[in-house]
Structure 1
Amino acid sequence: MMKLKSLFLILCFFAAFSLLGTAQERAVKGKVTAFETVPLINVTVTCKGLDTEVLTDENGCFMLRCNDKEKLRISAHGFYSENVNLRNFAEGDSVFVDLRFRKGDKNFEIATGYGHISGKQLSYAIEQLEADSGYSSYRDILEAIEGRISGVSIGNNAIIIRGATTINSGATPALLVVDGTIVEFPVFVNIPPTQVKSISVIKGAAASARYGSRGMGGVIVVKTKQ
């Protein structure tokens, strides 16, 4: 009886070990930006499990090998770091990360000093953000979208972006993304306008490149004042 019990424990150990080894290593590529469009250079991208890291190039792009169940750590001096769970991305999907700038003159000097972004680009981006009058005058986020973005219609618990696709574009709801996370319509509509930092639309090839088939109806991207 004791021998059978020992044999059972050994088999369980090897079964657990084999399950741990099922994580598949794959090539992960992506791009790191700031202020939605500005590429960040020399950003450190680390695969936490394998302890490997690379730096983004002059276009903000990177590529490294990592297990599909690992997390990426994206960090740049003068910006808030972000973790990306690869479980949320299918193999072949590109990882797009938009880092938030840490306000202040010291962080301005750090970010530009490390060569992540030029002083001219950073100054312009900050000026644009400060010049934005905000969204607090709107009753809800849907009114803000209709008031600020042309070519959208709202109804039946969905937002439709006209011209987002070439075939049956009116029947494909837009993908809703808040602070980098895909959310459902009921969550989206409860975002207070006073907390909205920016609202933008991505459609066509840009939406497909970033979000795959999920973005075929276009994407509404909201950033909040975190």
Structure 2
Amino acid sequence: MIRRTLMLLFLSIVPSLHIASQNTTIKGIVKDDSKNPLSNVSVKTNDSEVEVFTDATGFYTIDVPQKGKLFFSQEGFKTQKIAVKGKDIINIFLKYDEKAFKEKEVNTGYGKIKQSESTISVSSVDEKFIEQENNLDMATYLRTVPGVSVVEEGGNLGITIRGNRSLMSSDAPLIMLNGSQYNGSLKNLNPRDIKSIDVLKDASATAAYGSRGANGVILITTK
């Protein structure tokens, strides 16, 4: 009887150990081309809502599926995608995006203006990244944007933008597709048709959309 009890206990523990073994903790430091540490770099996995940010020394630590990928992104730098492949330390250098340092126009929802003239917090998915990785899905694109959390819920995508969480009402941001409100599932959009994705994060987004933009606005433009 004791032997049977021990065997059942062992069999109940093994699946948990197997699940735990599928995740690994990755640590590393992110620097720029001049070997200066970069703070506040977004580090995300490609298949979960987990997101961390580098500290003042460029250091980060994150739990990742062993077969997962990490996305490193920050405004002004090119997004990098790294496969984990059994690594436990991933140090990278983010390359400056020369286009980002030019007088860039941003989509504010009510027109495009020069970035230096914008008072709205706008983050964008790297258009070059979208062009090169057009076989990915909308969830993966949005996860490269710092502060955006994406969770798959019953075939749909649950999206929240950092700082816009409410216990009493929906956290969902407003989604605009080519200037019109989009109420369908983002999973129904063909990634190959996407030209750009801009995210309005702060309260000033309500200047263009009123209360609808209280949780942020995602602006999607197709080709």
TM-score (norm 1): 0.38
TM-score (norm 2): 0.39
**Which one scores higher on RCO, CA 8 angstroms, separation ≥ 6?**
2
User: Higher strand share goes to which structure?
Assistant: 2
User: Higher helix share goes to which structure?
Assistant: 1
